[in-house]
Homo-oligomer: A and B are copies of this chain.
Amino acid sequence: MKGTDPGGDFRRLAVIGVGLIGGSFALAARQRGLVGSVVACARSPETLAVALDRGIADEVTHDPAEAVAEADLVYVAAPVRATETLFSAMAPALRPEALVTDAGSTKAAVVALADRYLAQRCVFVGGHPMAGSDLAGPAAARADLFQHKTYILTPTADTPVAALARMRDIVTAIDGVAVLAEPEQHDRLVAATSHLPHLVAAALCGALGDLAARTGDIRPFTGAGLRDATRIAKGPPEVWRDILLDNRDNLKTALRLFSDEILHYIEAMEAQDAEGLEGLLDKARGFRRSLDP
Contact = CB atoms under 8 A, between A and B. Distances in A.
A261 interface: yes
Copy number of this protein in the oligomer? 2
A241 interface: yes
Contact-residue size bin, chain A (C-beta under 8 Å from the other chain): 35 or more
Contact of A288 (B234, B281, B290): B234
A286 B209 contact: yes
Given A193-B221, A218-B192, A220-B150, A260 B291 contact: no
A284 B205 contact: yes
Given A211-B192, A232-B229, A234-B289, A199 B265 contact: yes
A112 interface: no
A236 to B, nearest CB: 8
A252 interface: yes
A231 interface: yes
A226 interface: yes
Contacts of A274: 81, 241-242, 245
A225 interface: yes
A237 interface: yes
A282 interface: yes
Contacts of A230: 197, 229, 288, 291
Contacts of A189: 215, 218, 221
A262 interface: yes
A2 interface: no
Interface string A52-95: 00000000000000000000000000000100000000000000
B233 A285 contact: yes
B130 A212 contact: no
A151 to B, nearest CB: 10
A72 B177 CA distance: 57
Contacts of A287: 205-206, 208-209, 212, 233
A107 to B, nearest CB: 12
Contacts of A258: 203-204, 207
A218 B226 CA distance: 25
A132 B223 contact: yes
A4 interface: no
A254 to B, nearest CB: 8
Contact of A231 (B204, B255, B286, B288): B288
A197 B225 contact: yes
A193 B206 contact: no
Interface of A: 81, 130-132, 149-150, 152, 177, 179, 181, 186, 189-190, 192-194, 196-212, 215, 218-235, 237-238, 240-242, 244-245, 248, 251-252, 254-255, 257-258, 260-262, 264-266, 269-270, 272, 274, 277-278, 280-292
